[in-house]
Structure 1
Amino acid sequence: MFDQSQIQEFKEAFTIMDQNRDGFIDKEDLRDTFAALGRLNVKNEELEAMVKEAPGSINFTVFLTMFGEKLKGADPEETILNAFKIFDPEGKGHIKADYIKTMLMTQADRFNEEEIHQMFAAFPADPAGNLDYKNLCYVITHGEEKDQE
């Protein structure tokens, strides 16, 4: 289902999410992961719904299987959009550029200053300082900007 490098990336993600390091991802691990990403006060119902997607306790094997099922046939644009939506809980379609820069430089596979510069040179923020991630995702997956409507 996945190649070795993908499995390693999922293992790293699992390790980051398993906040209490017990080998399982539970509701509290999810809450702590969201908090680490700057999303506080996640509703219990939302966390419970996520945990209930698994057939039982979420160890790494279950985690990998769940991602395999979610990604099978998934549109890459949709997958990337969903990643950005974590940073946009109000669903505005854009994220403050300074915020995404901080997240990219401090979380998981951290960007360095040059990578951040390259990203914003290729896709600058608007005059209000917002990054239009929907358009960015389109460019990443299709190679050209959508016509603005």
Structure 2
Amino acid sequence: MQRTTGSDRSTPEVAVTSGRALTAGILAAFFLYSLAYYWPAYLAPRYRDDYESVSRRPHAICSGSISGRALVLLPATGDDHFRYGSGLIYTDPFLGSRIVYARNLLGEEQCILDKFPTRAIYSFILTTGWESGRLVKLRDRISRQ
């Protein structure tokens, strides 16, 4: 049996130790990167008031202007094709809330008037950037056509 020297035995141990150190270093780098990049967004979100084009502004305007039960149609065309979700986050799935929001599908106004006879129906006309808007009764808009 051949006897090994200390230098022969240390080579595999050094490789294992350096591999563990390298793995620990990579994991620490990933952790520090996530700590600097991802966690601040969770602790203080950057999109608090306008996350993915969904804003509280339409609901604030509508709830302050409408008394009673109403259906509010939000625009869903052009640059605003995705922003109709701003109202849907406040809509009860069973349509029992005081104000119900829906997408304004152009040409379907009469169908909506027929389906919601007990609610006042408004169209939300917004300004550029959804900073503010105004409400127009839908029945008035149809009678002007």
User: TM-score surpassing 0.5?
Assistant: no
Task: Pick the structure with greater CA Rg.
Answer: 2
Query: TM-score, length-normalised on structure 1?
Result: 0.23
- Tell me: higher relative CO, structure 1 or 2? Use CA pairs within 8 A at least 6 residues apart: 2
For normalisation by structure 2, the TM-score amounts to 0.23
Q: Quick check: which one's helix share is greater?
A: 1
Bigger strand share: 2
